[in-house]
Structure formats: structure tokens, C-alpha cells
Structure 1
Amino acid sequence: MEAIVSAALSEDARTEDFAALAVPESYRGAVVLKEEVGMFEGLASQDKDPRKSLHIESVPTPAPGPGEALIAVMASAVNYNTVWSSLFEPLPTFTFLERYGQSRPEGERHNLPYHVLGSDLSGVVLRTGPGVRRWKPGDRVVAHCLSVELESAEGHDDTMLDPEQRIWGFETNFGGLAELALVKSNQLMPKPRHLTWEEAACSGLVNSTAYRQLVSRNGAGMKQGDNVLIWGASGGLGSYATQFALAGGANPICVVSSDQKADICRAMGAEAIIDRSAEGYKFWKDERTQDPREWKRFGKRIRELTGGEDVDIVFEHPGRETFGASVYVTRKGGAIVTCASTSGYHHEYDNRYLWMSLKRIIGSHFANYREAWEANRLIAKGKIHPTLSEVFPLASTGEAVREVHRNRHSGKVGVLCLAPQENLGVEDRETRARHEPAINRFRGTGR
């Protein structure tokens, strides 16, 4: 690994230098084990500890097959799908690996007694498989997490509709929280040259997801002047949604849970902010009963911030806890666009407020290659900025995942894999100098 790291950090290493490097027979990765699937049985989600289920182990290196690339991973990041994987919720990810293994012969190698997690990376192409022409050893890249076969007609209008669409590092093996990773070549995008390895690694999943959810015609199709309610506006997803709303001429109404997180939203340029903890919003009376009076109080507060207008778009991802309120506060003809359910999958809402007011619920899941590419391009141009708050070494991945599980973070939590320290990998210092305050505005805001 030392020779790979040395070449990745060199400004002079060429394609032939990377091609000449020996590929290690094994590498270290953050894994969950099939034999431990039942370790948290009987515990509530909040009582499960990812530090017990996530292990840093040495695993065999897979060879890239047709259309694949082996990446030397300099840095990665924690997403909520890694939290779910480490808790074995809502079901163990080994179920996904078994399905992949049964679906096609080349999927069988993903069906292993361990699962290398992680759906983000920045790094360097080490090897490519047959048929890969666009990428070559030595290319500095980031990866988006859509793994797709593209053998069905359904996927050729929008690859997210492909029946064999999977999320890499969650529904496939050999993910990015590791020293090496295996991806399809059409997951790769150029690394933004003005960012460090850890900064570049933190945006792939959440930035692309927010882009499709808000900007793309496959999502809400946000336009100038729209009022956009953003739950968790300082978090991993919400921090990018807030930036897209501001950059697109919309008016974000940022919902946060503390003064500190409100300050982060103000630093991004948002003005309309609701601290739901300080203002005491409780949308459920008990586990089975919602409180419509709280929906109304929430809607009134929104109108105070918007000059009497309801929201055009709700950026939904908490799920069960907030969904009833989201449907209620959306304007007539507006849209609730949802990409996750971090507080629970079983949503309840009063359907009268949906059908009688002609509102729409739009399901949005990650992004297709074009959407991910456009989202990454905006980062490369300095229009959207990474929201990295803190960084852990690979050996402490369990602790990093626990921070996200306990919601003790802001923005994104990064993980150094092969990068020996932070602040490496910057190529375009002129562009970085212009945007450094925005790049660093989340640093030190975790915990």
C-alpha cells in the first residue's frame, strides 16, 4: 500500500507508473459480518452501537471485471445507509448481497460472509477491467453510488428505473470505507481539483440526491422564487438542499434542532430558520397519535417567515416523525418530495390535505449518472461546496458512524482511508483560495 499512497500523493506520477504498481492481495475495510446479524436482537434502534458491529478487517482484493475499476481510496464518508447497515436495519444488507448473487453469475462474488460498506469515495484509479475506455490508471476520481446493469429497456430513459439498480456499498459489496474499492466505471467522475481528498469524498451521495430531489425534472423541478421547506437543513442532505435552493433563486425555510445548527444555515446565506427544539414542535401526542394543532402552529410560523405564503416544495427525508406536518403545510398544488425515512418508514398523514388541495408526493432515490455528473460539476465550479464537519481515521469508522447515528454531527462526517493526513490532494489552489471560507464553514461544528 505504501507504493500506492506514494504515487497517489505525487504530482509527477503518470499512467504507466500506476499501471506498474503491484495490486495488493488484500486490503483493510470497514465490514459487518454475517455471523453477527443477530447481535442487537431485542434492542431499540437508539440503543444499538455501531462500534460493536463494524470491524476493520483485511479482506481479499477483487479483480475488476468488464466495465469495472479498482480504486485506491484516499478518503470516504459516512452516510445514513451505513448507519442502517451497521444496525442490521430495516433488514441485514446480506439479504441484498444474496439477491445480487442469485441474479447473475458475476454477482455471486458479492455474496460473501462479510460486507465492505461505504457509498462515497475519492481516490485514484488503480486498475480497469475490459471495455473501460474513458478512465485509466492514475486518474483522480470521485464515485457516485449508483450501480446499474443497463440491460433492460426501463433503465435507458432514467437509470434509476432500471430493475437491477443498486446502491454501491449498501446493496453491493466492496464499498468505499476501505483502502480499495470496486466500482463500475460509469460511477466515476473527475475529482474537483480545488478540494482535499476528504472534502471531495463527502459529497457524492448526498449532493447528487439533493440535486435530483430539488432541481431535476425527475424531482421537484425547483424554480426561482419557490419557498422550499428543508428538514434537517444543516445535516448531510439538508446542507446541500439549502445550497441548491439559494443558488437557484429559491427561498429556503430551514428547519434545525439547535442554535448552533441555525448559525450554520445563516452562514450558508439562509434567512428563514425554524429551530424546532427551541420552539417546541411535537407533531405526535404519543406513538400512535399525531397532533394537527402542531401542524397548524408550524404552518403559521412558516407564513410568518415567508410573508404569508405556504411552501411550494417540502424537502422530506425524516419520514414518520414529520411527514404528516409536511403534507399539511405544503401549498395547494405543491409537492412533497421524499428520499428517505430516517425516523421510520411507516408514514401517516391526513389524505384530505393531499387530494383536496391537489398536492403531489414524489418519491426520489439517489440520482442517475447525468444528475450525479451535473451535481459534481457544480462542486468543481465552486457553485456548491462540501459540508465536511469532522474527519476520522479508517480505524475509527465505528465511532464516525455512531456520531451520525446519534445525530451529533453537522454536514458530513469524513473518513481517511489511504490518505495519511488531512489537507492533501489540492491541485487548483487559486480556485480554492476564492472559496476557502465556504469550503470550511462546517469544520468544527460537529458534536
Structure 2
Amino acid sequence: MTSSTKEILDAILAPDTSPADYAALPLPASYRAVTVHRDEAEMFAGLETREKDPRASLHVDEVPLPELGPGEALVAVMASSVNYNSVWTSIFEPVSTFAFLERYGRLSPLAARHDLPYHVIGSDLSGVVLRTGPGVNKWHPGDRVVAHCLSVELESADGHNDTMLDPEQRIWGFETNFGGLAEIALVKSNQLMPKPAHLTWEEAAVPGLVNSTAYRQLVSRNGAGMKQGDNVLIWGASGGLGSYATQFALAGGATPICVVSSARKAELCRAMGAELVIDRSAEDYRFWKDENEQDPREWKRFGARIRELTGGEDVDIVFEHPGRETFGASVYVTRKGGTVVTCASTTGYRHEYDNRYLWMSLKRIIGSHFANYREAWEANRLIAKGRIHPTLSRTYPLAETGQAAYDVHRNLHQGKVGVLALAPNKGLGVTDPALRARHLPAITRFRNA
């Protein structure tokens, strides 16, 4: 940590630092950040996905502070988190992220800053605004913030109804540089949202990407448009995405049917309030006979198990993200006229399903990707009100981000894992202890598991 960075941290930890004090802080010439290197993009060539180790590819480097442009902000990062896109970046799948940075860099001289031989990764943060660029009016030095990960240019009309449709839409820290797994991050000002006052820095950092993604996918009219009384099948219901989908279903008057892979994860779902849980490992569902052929008999067995739990009803919505392994079963078990909404393919991108069960039963498949600013804001507002809770299970120091990404890659985690950046230890940053006390069991549920 440089002397300037330490001065920033001291100001954040002090109880009486004013906005003017923050604005007067000198900015460091460089900062520590988690990176991948362009010249190592082929380091895992020939290895199976599971054999690729993020601990070998993720580095903690001292990198130069980027230039601040119009409409942007520099944020002192107190904490961040590891998402599955961090894993993809670290193992250079499905492509190296340097292809994204090179393409972005051709857009404009300002975007060219992002095309570097290293990529500072990370799509979540909680922290404090240090500087804002020209044209930023809403945010000021000293504001406590979290950031969502949608980066847009909005020069095309296409994005002005739904910013996710902007042709220049990118995921910050994955398709752009200067991400959140660092001591300082560069964001667009329209990525910023207020930090929930009752949460610690690490708790506030973890919901951003997954909470917003789950909100759009399940709740928003751009996704499944969940309503009261719906039966919602949630794959990986105790994981990063699924744990928020489970909470949204419960909070919205729907009935989640939680699919998990162990008894421990099943208990976590029950602790959140879900009553209908399927442990797919214990019940030994094998949706594929081999790598080329699925087994429809297993789809039917799975559907019968769902109806047993629901009192004879099929599911209205399937919350999909595993992809290849589960997609055929998802299409099959959805009720007539129901919806499969998908946001990822963590087990493979080539989905196969029997189209007879889709077209003849008038089912829909909806693609959903992250969230627009309004959806992210609404999702964060529910966190701030204590209606939806972070699912933080473990926190790592910045130097151990490689291990954190390895644990997510191998599915050794529950919920979300946090990473401390500037924060010297866990438990800091709470400014509304009364609200925290009312919700403490829910806030710490995944750590207590």
C-alpha cells in the first residue's frame, strides 16, 4: 500500500472526514489490483475446463492509476467479490477477455485506455467516491457507494428503452478494464448506487452482480415477470445467483422449488424459508446417458418429483443458468404456457432440448443478461431496506483472490464469496446498526452455515 493509498484508507476509517477532505486527498500514482496477463492467455491450452487453475493465472500487481474521463468516477474499493465471470476471465474461457478489451479500445481514444497488456478484473465493489469527471453531478467525493456492472455508451437509440440493448453494452471488469478486485476502480457514474447502511463493506460488495441479474431474470417484465402464486424452479438455489432468486421468490409470494447438490445446501435453502427442496445428488438424477444423449426418463422422474412436492402442479418459471446439463429437463418440466428464463451456461453453451415440449405446449425461452440501471437500482433498494439479504459465506484478502476464484470454479463455496481490498479487516462500514440488528440472523445466515 502506497502512502497516498494509506492516506485514503485513514480518511475512510476516520469518523469525521468531510467531502472537502476527500476531494483534497492526493491520488496515488499506482494501486494494487488483481490482474490477468495478455502474454499468459494460452497458459491452459489443452487442459479440460476443470483442470484450469485460477491460482496460476490471477496476479496481484501494482498498476498505474487510469486517467479519469467525462462521466466517470474513481472509487476507493473497500471490498469486492468473485463472480463466475471472474472465473471465466481467469481460465480464459470461452475466449480471452483481451479480445473484449481490444475491441473496446478501438471505439474511441478514451476507450483505448482499456486495451492494455493486463486486465484488472472484478464486477462488484463497495467503497467511497474519490473523484468524479466532468459532467458528473449526482455523486461527490466521500459518497459511500456500491457499483453495478453495466457499462454503456448510450449513443445509439437502441439502448434508450432498455440500456441492456445498447450496442455498446459491456460488463465492467469483464469486458472493460479497471474492475473492482483492486484498491481503486474506474466506473461510469451511472454504475453507482448508495451503499446499504446496515451492511459491512464486504456484505455490501457481494450482491451487486448476482442480485441485479436475478432481479431482471425473475422479477422484471424484461425477464419472467414473476407473480404471486407462481411455482419457480431454481437451479443451484444456494449458490451465488440462486440464493437471490430464492429470496425474490419468497418475498414476492411465489413458491420456490430449490434444486441443490448436497444436504448442507438443502438446509441453507430451508433456512431462507424455502419448504420445497430437491437434493439432486441424493436423488441421483442423471439427465444425460452419456456426453451425447439425454435420458427423457430422468426428465419425467424429475417432473414427477416436482409435482409430488407441489401437490400436483408443474412449475410456471424455471430459473436457468447451468445450461447444457439441465436445459432439456428444464424445458420438459415447465408447465404448458410457462417460461424458461436463462442467464448463463456454466455447464456448457450448447443447449439441447426436445422442441415438441416447447412448441406444442406453448412454452417460452427468454434470454436474460445482467440488468439495466433501473433494475439494478430497484434490486439494491431491496437490499438497503432489509427485504433481500446478502448471501456472503466467506471473505478472502485481496492477495488470495486466486484461491477464492478456484473455490468458485470448483463449486466449493456457498452463496457468494467476498474479497477485502482496502478494508483492513471484516466487519467495518456499518452506519445503521439498528436496522442491522433487526436482520442480523438473515445477514449472517450463510456464514453460520
Q: TM-score, normalised by structure 2?
A: 0.99
Asked if 1:48 corresponds to 2:52, the answer is yes
Q: Quick one: distance in 1 between partners of 2:91 and 2:132?
A: 33
CA apart distance, 1:11 = 2.0
Q: Quick one: distance in 1 between partners of 2:17 and 2:377? A: 26
Equivalences for 1:247-266 in 2 at 5 Å?
247-266=251-270
Note if contact 1:63-1:70 (Cα within 8 Å) is conserved in structure 2: no
Matched, 1:383 2:387: yes
The corresponding residue for 2:417 is: 413
Corresponding residue number in structure 2 for 1:442: 446
* Alignment-derived partner of residue 295 in structure 1: 299
Confirm whether residue 113 of structure 1 aligns to residue 117 of structure 2: yes
Q: Hey, what does 1:214 align to over in structure 2?
A: 218
Could you say which residue in structure 2 is the equivalent of 1:280? 284
Unaligned segments of structure 1, at least 5 residues: none
**Cα offsets for 1:402-436 (capped at 9, x unmatched):** 00000000100000000000000000000000000
Letter in 2 for 1:171: E
SS in structure 1 at match of 2:253: coil
Question: By how many angstroms is 1:444 displaced?
Answer: 4.8
The one of 34, 39, 59 aligned to 2:38? 34
In the alignment, does 2:166 pair up with 1:162?
Answer: yes
Give the secondary structure class of the aligned counterpart of 1:431: helix
Could you tell me which of 341, 347, 353 is aligned with 2:351?
Answer: 347
For residue 16 of structure 2, what is the aligned residue in structure 1?
Answer: 12
Residue by residue over 1:104-138, the C-alpha shift from the partner in whole angstroms, topping out at 9 and shown as x without a partner, is: 22111100000000000000000100000000000
Aligned residues: 445
2-structure distance, mates of 1:363, 1:38: 30
Q: Report the equivalent of 2:89.
A: 85
The corresponding residue for 1:307 is 311
1:220-257 Cα deviation digits (max 9, x unpaired): 00000000000000000000000000000000000000
Which residue pairs with 1:242 in the alignment? 246
Give me the whole-angstrom Cα distance separating, in 2, the residues matched to 1:263 and 1:10.
40
Q: Which residue of 2 aligns with 1:183?
A: 187
Superposition pairs of residues 306-345 of structure 1, within 5 angstroms: 306-345=310-349
Task: Please give the per-residue CA displacement for 1:355-403, whole angstroms capped at 9, x wherever unaligned.
Answer: 0000000000000000000000000000000000000000000000000
Matches within 5 A, 1:131-146: 131-146=135-150
In the alignment, does 2:67 pair up with 1:67? Answer: no
Question: How well do the aligned residues superpose, as a CA RMSD in angstroms?
Answer: 0.5
Deviation at 1:103, TM superposition (A): 1.8
Match of 1:267 among 264, 267, 271: 271
- Look up the SS of the partner of 1:285 in the other structure: coil
For the residue of structure 2 that corresponds to 1:324, the secondary structure is helix
Return the alpha-carbon distance in structure 2 between the equivalents of residues 260 and 25 of structure 1. Answer: 46
Provide the secondary structure at the position in 2 that maps to 1:361: strand
Amino acid across the alignment from 1:145: C
- Look up the equivalent residue of 1:80 and give its one-letter code: Y
Which residue does 2:230 correspond to in 1? 226
Aligned-residue offset at 1:187: 0.1
Q: Which amino acid aligns with 1:435?
A: H
Matched residues in 1 for 2:304 and 2:187: separation?
47
Task: Percent identity, please.
Answer: 78
- The residue number in structure 2 matching 1:2 is 6
Asked if the contact 1:28–1:179 (Cα under 8 Å) also holds between the matched residues in 2, the reply is yes
Could you state the TM-score of these two structures normalised by the residue count of structure 1? 0.99
- Residue 99 of structure 1: aligned partner: 103
Measured in 2, the distance between the counterparts of 1:5 and 1:351 equals: 56
Distance 2:10 2:430 in 1: 15
SS at match of 2:73: strand
- 1:63 to partner: Cα distance: 2.3
- AA partner of residue 417 (structure 1): A
Structure 2: gaps (5+ residues) = none
Give the secondary-structure state (helix, strand or coil) at the position aligned to 2:388.
Answer: coil
Q: Provide the secondary structure at the position in 2 that maps to 1:289.
A: coil
| Corresponding letter in the other structure for 2:327 | F
Aligned residue for 1:284, secondary structure, equals coil
Q: Which one-letter code corresponds to 2:154 in the other structure?
A: L
Cα distance in 2, alignment partners of residues 444 and 33 from structure 1: 37
Q: What CA distance in whole angstroms lies between the structure 1 residues aligned with 2:438 and 2:199?
A: 12
Partner SS for 2:445: coil
